[in-house]
Amino acid sequence: LMYVAASSTQTSVISIGYGYVLDMKQLWWSSGGTLGANVVSTNSSFGVDYANCASGSYPVWNDLYNQMGAEGILSACATANINLNVDTQGDVPTGCSSPYIVAVTNTTSADAKNNNAAYGAINVDLGAPGTSILSTYPTNTTGTLTGTSMATPHVSGAVALMHAAASADFHQDYVTYPDSLALVLKQLLLANVDLIPALNGITVSGGRLNLFNAVTAIHAYVGANPTAPNLRYDSHVIDDATGDNDGNLDGGETANLIVTLSNLGANATGVTGTLSETDPYLSISDNSGSFGNIPTSGTADNNADPFVITAAANTPLEYSAQLSLTLNSLEPYTVTRTFNIIVGQKVIYWTDSLEMGEDGWTHSNVLGGFGDNWHVSTEMYSSPSHSWKCGDTGTGNYANSLDAGLVSPLISITPQSALSFHHWIESEQSGTYEDSVYDGAIIEISVNGGAFAQITPSTGYTKTFRTVAGGGNPYTGPMPGLRCWGGAIPWTIEEVNLTPYAGQTIQLRFRFGSDAATSREGWYVDDIFIKGEPPSVPNAVVDLVIKLVGNDMQLLWNAPVGGANSYIIYRDIFMEFVPDLGNQIGTTSDTTYTDIGIVPLEPKVFYQIKAVR
């Protein structure tokens, strides 16, 4: 370990720190390994949020990464501890273009991306464990810490261990071509991650660091003049033309699996593969495939002789299943490679980015005697250019004595669903008790038209509403004692598990409360979406009958073919009307509904019944 005191946002300090590292490596090369230090990776847990690497003095940073890379040094860099896309919103250094940067985000023990960690499909390379990591403290004690600064040392240490475990061929080539071999090592590091759905599409590799796989891969590295084949798994394609033909393996589906191999070694002839698994959700009905001849630096696939695999009908969505592929050639040569496939794709089936205005949402005070400050705002947002704001319509603070409820349209929930939304909050916090606030926010749910009840996000609430005010006076807010969000929270993604509500119709309520004194900026909510099993489209209801019973209209119908979970009833005075929240009058899980007291009110009414599954 080489400790370099240069953690800073100042280019002059950064230049001195990285310059020392560069000097030590160049001295090691020039002295034949007798002076300096054989630095192979740096660890950088600092940076500038939202910065553009091409502006100001930041290009100097990028040049330093390239200069160190030319000497064979990779730089593991922690991305921002903010839920932002560095590709579009910027970050230094992880938004810089140097190929010698390995940009790292923070993953949890559940293989989710930490809500307060940045991402980027172009610039953030992989994830590593960074949540609740046991660490030493300057006070000679230990404790747990969370952040990309906890994740990145795992990667810089992995680079060092890969060098220690590398084959003799790698060391020989590294001495001759340190710049190129540093990039080879990076490629092996990224190609051997564990693919996880949480990083799919928002990082370069789509996965979380797997140290064992990375070390195994570099130990098998064969040099520029190989004497034996070196076959590697490269990628795979799912051919589900006999299923739903969407290119993904879904539960209950059988598909062809086509694997592409690359050869980093000598020519391989007559390559065959045998596929195996130990996964409870996968079965293989054709485990043999032929790849033909694969020359040095060449690739080949088994498209002409695919493997055939089946996923069990009860496979969880976005399940990662591991397969083993044993490869043989006539040289003779044999090796076993492992890789993962994702079974079942969740889809975003309900979303609102707030760019279309209120769009079916409603808002009002929840309890009498309190106010409502909700409105669509352009003052601040997670994605351009609108959000919901509970606060002043200008730049002032929210009102005192709020109990403001923002209610979503009706939403039908499919299995394995989760709600996600972005929010930002600044509210009055207790000056004495750090975990308490006078003003704050919660989220609630109504199921099938029932009363609203508080629900808890996956990471929990951060604060608690006070039950007494300062000086022991009675607390004047609307939700004393409830867990809530409050204080200062930057733009963060929250997730709420909606799986218990599968097959039911819900409404969400974002609720903000304040007491009778002191206020701050407020609560912003943006980019709300629900992801889960793709919804099926039910057939139309059958034989709708409308009967007059006194002053009421009684509606009776038969369930559609294939059934339905619930029904939404709409009424209008026009025959050709579009059903929406404005003309919705109720929901039911039964096949009857009574519209009470409508006869004296309207000379003529029309009904539509919507089946929901």
The confidence band for 538, taking pLDDT boundaries of 50, 70 and 90, is confident
Picking from 153, 116, 110, 157, the residue whose alpha carbon sits closest to that of residue 135 is 153
The confidence band for 358, taking pLDDT boundaries of 50, 70 and 90, is confident
The H helix count followed by the E strand count for the chain is 7, 40
Residue pair 185/72 in contact (Cβ under 8 Å)? The answer is no
- Whether 356 shows a pLDDT value over 80: the answer reads no
- Whether 525 shows a pLDDT value over 90: the answer reads yes
Residue pair 127/202 in contact (Cβ under 8 Å)? The answer is no
- Give the SS3 label for residue 581: helix
Residue 610 contacts by C-beta under 8 Å, 6 or more apart in sequence? 567, 568, 569, 570, 579
The confidence band for 273, taking pLDDT boundaries of 50, 70 and 90, is very high
Average pLDDT of the residues in 510-532: 95
- Check residues 584 and 608 and name the one with the higher pLDDT: 608
Helix 148-165 / helix 211-219 crossing angle, nearest 10 deg: 20
d(CA 326, CA 257): 15
- Whether 470 shows a pLDDT value over 80: the answer reads no
Residue 395 contacts by C-beta under 8 Å, 6 or more apart in sequence? 379
Tokens matching residue 285: 């009905």
| Helix or strand (DSSP H, E) at 219 | helix 211-219
Query: What are φ and ψ of residue 182, in 5° steps?
Result: -65, -40
Mind listing the pLDDT tens digit for each residue in 360-417? 899 999 999 999 999 999 999 887 789 999 999 998 999 999 999 999 999 989 998 9
d(CA 434, CA 2): 38
pLDDT at 537: 67
Mind listing the pLDDT tens digit for each residue in 205-240? 999 999 999 999 999 887 767 778 888 888 899 999
pLDDT at 363: 97
The confidence band for 581, taking pLDDT boundaries of 50, 70 and 90, is low
Tokens matching residue 454: 């508080």
Ranking 19-33, 222-236, 284-298 by mean pLDDT, the lowest is 222-236
- Whether 522 shows a pLDDT value over 80: the answer reads yes
pLDDT at 264: 78
Output the 3-class SS for 491-505. EEEEEEECHHHCCCE
Tokens matching residue 333: 């040569």
pLDDT at 137: 79
pLDDT at 220: 86
Give the global pTM: 0.54
Mind listing the pLDDT tens digit for each residue in 241-264? 998 888 889 999 999 999 999 887
- Whether 568 shows a pLDDT value over 90: the answer reads no
pLDDT at 159: 98
Residue 94 contacts by C-beta under 8 Å, 6 or more apart in sequence? 47, 77, 78, 79, 80, 86, 101, 103, 118, 120, 123, 124
- Check residues 471 and 233 and name the one with the higher pLDDT: 233
pLDDT at 469: 87
Mind listing the pLDDT tens digit for each residue in 78-129? 999 999 999 999 999 999 999 999 999 999 988 999 989 999 999 999 999 9
Mean pLDDT for all residues in the chain: 92
Average pLDDT of the residues in 146-174: 94
Ranking 46-60, 62-76, 126-140 by mean pLDDT, the lowest is 126-140
- Check residues 559 and 348 and name the one with the higher pLDDT: 559
Average pLDDT of the residues in 6-32: 93
pLDDT at 301: 97
Ranking 60-74, 324-338, 556-570, 590-604 by mean pLDDT, the lowest is 556-570
Average pLDDT of the residues in 150-175: 93
DSSP per-residue string spanning 132-182 = SEEEE-TTS-EEEE-SHHHHHHHHHHHHHHHHHH--HHHHHHHHH-HHHHH
- Whether 2 shows a pLDDT value over 80: the answer reads yes
Side-chain-side CA neighbours of residue 72 (13 Å): 21
Percentage, residues of the chain above pLDDT 90: 71
State how beta strands 463-465 and 374-377 pair. unpaired
Residue pair 47/78 in contact (Cβ under 8 Å)? The answer is yes
- Whether 548 shows a pLDDT value over 70: the answer reads yes
